[in-house]
Amino acid sequence: MEFSKIFNWRKVFGLIALIVLFVALAWGSQHSNPNFSHQWETLAEPGKLSQAHATLENNCSACHTTVKGVEANKCILCHANNQSVLQRQPTSFHANIQTCKECHLEHRGRAQRPTEMNHIALANIGLKQMADAIDSSDEERAKVIQLKHWLSQTDSSSDLRTNIPPREFILNCMTCHRNKDLHFGYFGKGCGDCHTTKTWSIPEYRHPSARSMDCSQCHQAPPSHYMKHFKMISQKVAGKPKARVTQCFLCHQTTSWIDILETGLYKHH
């Protein structure tokens, strides 16, 4: 069978003619209609921006660069002086992150926040920064190589004794969650031994017996219990005028700290 019969030249030339015609019309429309670029952007828009970025709806170039897409330097242009993010302990790591699009997603509608924490993406960013660091010592480079080798051996393994996936396990949870540590450091820094990155709650956790008398082993009384407030309010509400601060079991139930024995739920703070 001849090649010309297999390859339909008429269709090829027809397609080329359509492309040329489209380009010509686009060029003509762009010069005759100053709003043409806006119309084209509207047609290509994948979805509405979030409420926070709604003012940029008709200004794609504020975030996007032709061919390259979203670049971090354009995000930084607006958010570089966001002190509430850069100075707060849980979010201060943003100062060293050179990319934004992995966790900040857009075009999902007005009601959706443009933030979705991706711990695996954060781990990958950290690995890349460590590997790309110009001033890294040979020792640091060796650590990166060892870490990547460990991940290649562990990513598909279920033998890791942690509730956090291996790729996320290499992150230091305390960097961001230190101020949320309700254990006051008593349980160490191995958050992954009990918690997951999907939720901090532990459904399978069972509190020790309500008759336990060593609550302070895990719990610290609030500041109000070390002030006059404890004698004037707390003891009276619980009906235990002689209770000491360390005798949590005399007033509290294990269902909730505000669930007071023989009183019920009582929130006075």
Residue 189 identity: K
CB 97 within 8 A of CB 89: no
**Which residue(s) pair with 70 in the sheet?**
64
Q: For residues 62 and 170, what is the distance between their CA atoms, to the nearest angstrom?
A: 35
pLDDT, one tens digit per residue, over 155-196 is 655 555 567 778 888 888 888 888 888 787 778 888 888 888
Domain spans of the chain, in order of start: 47-116, 136-193, 215-265
pLDDT, one tens digit per residue, over 112-158 is 888 888 898 988 888 888 777 766 667 777 777 777 777 777 765 55
Q: Can you list the positions of beta strands (E) in 42-144?
A: 64-65, 69-70
Mean pLDDT of 17-37: 57
Contacts of residue 117, Cβ cutoff 8 Å, sequence gap at least 6? 103, 197
Closest-CA residue to 205 (of 214, 215, 196, 213): 196
Global pTM reads 0.60
3 pLDDT tier (thresholds 50, 70, 90): very low
Residue 157 φ/ψ, nearest 5 degrees: -100, 150
Which of the pair, 218 or 15, is modelled with greater confidence? 218
What sign for the dihedral angle of Cα 67, 70, 71, 77? Answer: positive
